[in-house]
Amino acid sequence: MLAIRCRNLRKRYADVVAVDGLDLDVRAGECFGLLGPNGAGKTTTIEILEGLNRPDEGEVEVLGMRWGRHDHQLRQKLGIQLQETQLNEKLTVEETLRLFRSFYDEGTALDAVLARVQLEPKRHAHVGKLSGGQKQRLSVGCALVGRPALLFLDEPTTGLDPQSRRQLWGLLEEFRREGGTILLTTHYMDEAEVLCDRLAIVDHGKIIAQGSPAELTASLPPRKVVSHNATLEDVFMSLTGRHLRDE
Amino acid sequence: MSNPFVQLTLVKLREYTREPEAMFWVFVFPVLMTCALGIAFSDSGAAAIRVGVLSPSTSLGAGPSTPLGASAGLVATLDADPRIDATALSPEQAAAQLRDGAIALVVVPGAGGAVGYRFDRTRPESSVARFTVDEVLQRASGRADAFTPADDLVALPGSRYIDWLVPGLLGMNVMMTGLWGIAFSIGMARTKKLIKRLSATPMRRSHFLGAQVAGRLVFLPIEAGVLIVFAHYVFGVPVRGSWLLLSGVVLLGAVSGAALSLFVASRARSFEAISGLINIAIVPMWILSGVFFSSSHFPAAIQPFVQALPLTALNDALRSVMLAGDGFGAIAHEVAILSAWTIVCFGLTLRIFRWQ
């Protein structure tokens, strides 16, 4: 069964084609990673799947439903973490979670979410006083509070210290064990290798390679690797090139 | 408690109460302003007219024909009248004090008991000083009144500047607090991608917009009440019309202000944009809508614009109810203008609000 199915997705902004005929299948229960350099079209793709952006062309099916027809039911089932959201700094951790919980018909008890994102000691702390890692965990907590079937995470660990990253990985594995599906984007190859069952490397709005981390590393021709075993990063660099992608 | 509308409204209330500056501007500032302006203007009618009498003893330019005792005599004659506070001044002092507004008029003693007056015709208090001083001096010189007028002095609360000012301050506060409290907070939430994050949840958009208005209205009774009660008990500013009607006008003013705020905030995506838009909304009303001085001073050509502003309508309605004691019939026109602003602004907001 597919949690996400999209075909021939296209999105063009004024002077740039962000998504250029992208096909994607994410199976229910798997963790799927979208990798790609800056400006490859990852965020646009994920926002189209989240219903925050409309494609110019293409078909999107999420949890068997379609945007434009089942929006409210779909939103009840999705947990979303955006790249740059700054939550209201005047609210406490608990107030923030309670606010997000109130939007969902069904969800997880606040205490359970607080425990899962390890913010119980910070329950009454103002969001403005949290560290970067704590803010990010709260952001994921807000995505989990409606007990989603599908979790979208856009660069969830960018800018976090190694401890916070591991903590977040553990949290995501737990979500997986309970049968949840995850679609995430990341720049960290080690993260993709640890978390993802399958990966797609996106560049110029298209998927240029797809498979499990092991399949992708095995696919690299031996001459591309000089002095060590092929890593996912070698695959990524060989497929997307070495030039900088400053946005 | 788990109702999303209640939760969103609580967010607004927490934003206000956890921001001490916001509390100051909403609750304390209008009262301080009323206090300052009230003290400055509440009994200005009783102040004596200050005039200077040019003194020849220090005056190099005074002619030899001016008797030395003339200016001292003029000061004594004028000072004897309770309406006038006269001082002998050298020409330099007189020029400086006239320029600074410390005195309203300079009396220049002339030959043979005649005097001249030096004053700025554009200053109303100077014209009053000229006629008052002239009357006193003419009488002292023996002029008889053709008849004795009967002065019927009126000093009722309700006709002073402070009485006129308080409804204006109330209107300004009621309408403009929303622009900072609602428009600014929405603009900031959008720059922080918080609105986008909320719109990714099943949150009903009407709940979000409604909570902005509800959060604004919760404090309204305290905010308006403090100002009205303070002005009433400290300065005797009257509320002649019905309190119920006054409350209704205040409520309609706040709702229309909230609607305007939502509209102003419906697209802006940066701090600069939202600040600019708020100023575009506030400044014309501040100047034109009759907060500190009557909007009737502006030329007829721009009156249709002035009268169509929501704050003009609100201020006019508040003054009608508080000062003239008018009923609903007298303010129906203003109520219609405020309602139209409310409906149009809400309607436009629903159409164009940027949820990203």
B249 vs A186, more confident: B249
A146 to B201: CB separation less than 8 angstroms, yes or no = yes
Which of A52, A82, A90 minimises the CB distance to B14? A90
Which of B3, B15, B194 minimises the CB distance to A85? B194
B202 to A76: CB separation less than 8 angstroms, yes or no = yes
Residue B340 C-alpha from the chain's centroid = 25
Contacts of B8 in chain A (CB under 8 A): 99
Tokens of B189: 């939430």
Q: Give the residue from chain A lying closest to B354, CA to CA.
A: A52
Q: Minimal Cα–Cα distance from B210 to chain A, Å?
A: 15
A103 to B203: CB separation less than 8 angstroms, yes or no = yes
Contacts of A91 in chain B (CB under 8 A): 11, 14
Q: Give the residue from chain A lying closest to B202, CA to CA.
A: A75
Mean pLDDT of all residues belonging to chain A: 90
Which of B1, B18, B202 minimises the CB distance to A90? B18
What pLDDT was estimated at residue B65?
Answer: 45
What pLDDT was estimated at residue A246?
Answer: 61
Q: Are A156 and A132 in contact (CB under 8 A)?
A: no
Distance CA B348, CA B354 (A): 12
B202 to A104: CB separation less than 8 angstroms, yes or no = yes
Round the CA-based radius of gyration of chain B to a whole number and report it.
28
B14 to A87: CB separation less than 8 angstroms, yes or no = no
Report CA dihedral (B295, B297, B298, B303) to the nearest 10 degrees. Answer: 50
Distance CA B181, CA B25 (A): 10
What pLDDT was estimated at residue B161?
Answer: 83
Tokens of B133: 């001083």
* This prediction's pTM: 0.81
Contacts of A146 in chain B (CB under 8 A): 201-202
Q: How is residue B90 annotated by DSSP?
A: -
pLDDT in tens, A68-101: 999 999 999 999 999 888 999 999 999 999 999 9
What is the torsional sign of CA B93, B99, B102, B105? positive
Interface membership of A102 toward B (CB under 8 Å): yes
What DSSP letter does each residue of A140-173 carry, written as one string? HHHHHTT--SEEEEESTTTT--HHHHHHHHHHHH
Distance CA A20, CA A23 (A): 10
Distance CA A94, CA B58 (A): 79
Interface membership of A79 toward B (CB under 8 Å): no
What's chain B's length in residues?
A: 356
Which of B14, B189, B193 minimises the CB distance to A95? B14
What pLDDT was estimated at residue B160?
Answer: 79
Q: What is the pLDDT along chain B (356 residues), one digit of tens a residue?
A: 579 999 999 999 998 888 888 778 778 888 888 888 777 776 555 578 899 999 865 444 444 444 546 888 889 999 888 889 999 999 999 999 999 888 999 999 987 778 899 999 888 889 899 999 999 998 888 888 888 888 877 656 667 788 888 999 999 999 988 888 899 899 999 999 999 999 999 999 999 999 999 998 998 998 899 899 989 988 888 999 999 999 999 999 999 999 999 999 999 988 899 999 999 999 999 999 999 888 888 999 999 999 999 999 999 999 999 998 999 999 999 999 999 999 999 999 999 999 98
pLDDT in tens, A130-154: 998 899 999 999 999 999 999 999 9
Mutation choice for A interface testing from B11, B18, B197 by most A CBs within 10 A: B197
Q: Give the residue from chain B lying closest to A148, CA to CA.
A: B201
Which bin fits B138, alpha (ψ -120 to 50), beta or left (φ > 0)?
alpha
Q: Could you tell me what percent of chain A has a pLDDT over 90?
A: 66
What pLDDT was estimated at residue B244?
Answer: 96
B14 to A91: CB separation less than 8 angstroms, yes or no = yes
Report CA dihedral (B121, B123, B127, B133) to the nearest 10 degrees. Answer: -110
In degrees and rounded to multiples of 5, residue B160 shows phi and psi of: -90, 170
